[in-house]
Amino acid sequence: MKKSFTIIELIFVIVVLGIIAAVALPKFSENLKQANISKAQSKVTAIRSAIQVYKNKHILLGDETPYPDSLTDTKPFDVILSPGVEEGSDAGEWEDLGNEKYKFHISDDEYAVFEYNNTEGTFECSKSSSNPSKVCNSF
C-alpha cells in the first residue's frame, strides 16, 4: 500500500496556510509601519539635538545668527549630522522637498512632512492639508 496524501488533505493544508497568511500579513505590515515611525522619531530627536549643538557652538563663537541657514548642503541634514542621511522615496527614507521641508516616507502611501525654521531653530512636523499623515501627533 502506497503512503501518500490525498488531494483533499493537500487542499486542506493549502487553505490553512492561506488563512494563516491572511492573518499574519496585515500584522507584519503594521509592525513595519510602526518600525518606520520609530526610526523617524529617533532621527527627528537627533536632528533637533544637532540643531541645538550647532546653536550653542555658534553662540560661543559670537555669531549673531546661531542657527544654520539650511540643514542641507548635498544630502539631507548633512550640515548638522555627519554624514547626513541618504535620500530616497521608499518607506523609511527621507526626501528633501526644498525650502527647508523634508518628507519622511512611512509606507508606500503615508508620509510626514517636516519643516525647519532657521530663525527659531525649530524642526517640526507640518500639520497641514498637504500632509495626509496623522503621525505628526507622535512628534
- Type of residue at 29: S
- The pLDDT tens digits of the residues spanning 84-134 come to 888 888 888 999 998 999 999 988 888 889 999 999 999 999 876 555 557
Q: Domain limits of the chain? A: 9-138
User: Distance between CA 84 and CA 74 in Å, rounded?
Assistant: 9
* % of residues, the chain, pLDDT over 90: 31
User: Distance between CA 8 and CA 111 in Å, rounded?
Assistant: 46
Helix (H), strand (E) at residue 56: helix 7-60
Question: pLDDT-based confidence at 44, cuts 50/70/90?
Answer: very high
